[in-house]
Amino acid sequence: MKLFSDFGRGFTNCFRAFSLLFEKGLWPYIFYPLLIWMAIWVATLYGFIALADYFTNLIKPYLNLENVGNNIEWLAFIKPKLSGAFGFIILWILKLVFWFIGSVFSKYLLLIFLSPLFSLLSERTEEKLADTKFPFHFIQFIKNIFRGIFMSIRNFFMELIIGFGLWMISIFIPPLFFITFPLGIIIGWYFTGFSIMDYNCERHQFNIKNSIQFVKKNRGYAIGIGCVYCVFMTLPTLTGDLIGIMFGPTLAVIGATISFLQIRKKEVSSS
């Protein structure tokens, strides 16, 4: 099936980027994501935790049932237990919601801040692989930056809306969680890979409509590239986190460029 074979190509192309990093002198690019991510992580961590606590305190008076009269004996008996359990559940639901928003927000914020760098890295990769040269035009470079920011914002809202939809389905039909949860992860990979692949589309003068059509047609590549990016960015240990942040975005951008060139070559040979 094309989707799975394209996923495999996109995934493995990112690991082919390891050798290119050092053979082609692209290794300095691994340090920039780390610096930006540390600043974003600190800001969003404290910001969203504070926001979750604020909303929790705001609705807490409506959850404690303390104002319920004691003349209803059975309710008077269970109200401390109900109040504590219900408040605890609401607290953690809010924290999970804000954690989801914060993680998606941080991911795209990194893509937005590093858009100029990723665009440049993608261009340098194609120059070294295709033995070509893209002349530098400042106006076009600025346009590419705003294009990358726009696509990242678009994909952020698309992922957020779909993610909330799946989350709501899981609340009302809990057994579907085993379907909606992995589906949500795959959708996140797709939109992340979409943002990264678009650096190639903008360089080759695809308008936004054509870029969307191109990535949809090759969604397997986008999912594979986004998978590598997201897995590297969520490695469990501190050392793993640092390594993942350093290598994940860079490998994904280079892998997306390799994939783009493969797709274009295939299109030319089949036409």
- Asked if 145 contacts 119 with a C-beta cutoff of 8 angstroms, the reply is yes
**Type of residue at 109:** L
Q: Specify the pLDDT at position 152.
A: 87
Output the pTM of the full model.
0.77
Q: Specify the pLDDT at position 240.
A: 56
Q: What angle do CA 203, 209, 210 make, to 5 degrees?
A: 55
Closest CA to 12 of 255, 191, 244: 255
Q: Specify the pLDDT at position 271.
A: 65
Closest CA to 154 of 195, 118, 183: 195
- Asked if 220 contacts 81 with a C-beta cutoff of 8 angstroms, the reply is no
Cα atoms in the 13 Å half-sphere on the side-chain side of 244: 17
What tens digit of pLDDT does each residue of 92-143 get?
A: 655 666 666 666 777 787 788 888 888 889 999 999 888 888 887 778 778 8
Q: Among positive and negative, which fits the CA dihedral 198, 179, 251, 155?
A: positive
pLDDT along the chain (271 residues), means of 10: 91 91 84 76 64 61 49 46 50 61 73 85 90 81 83 89 83 80 90 93 90 94 94 67 82 95 87 65
Residues 128, 160: Cα–Cα separation, whole Å: 36
First to last CA, the chain: 21
128 CA to centre of own chain: 27
**Type of residue at 271:** S
Q: Specify the pLDDT at position 187.
A: 94
User: Which residues make Cβ contacts (< 8 Å) with residue 33, sequence separation at least 6?
Assistant: 110, 114, 245, 246, 248, 249, 250
Residues 198, 153: Cα–Cα separation, whole Å: 13
Residue 241 is inside which H or E element, if any? helix 238-270
236 CA to centre of own chain: 17
Burial class (CB in 10 A: 0-12, 13-18, 19+), 51: middle
Q: How many CB atoms lie within 10 A of CB 228?
A: 27
Burial 89-104 (b: 16+ CB within 10 A, else e): ebbeebbeebebbbeb
Q: What angle do CA 58, 60, 66 make, to 5 degrees?
A: 140
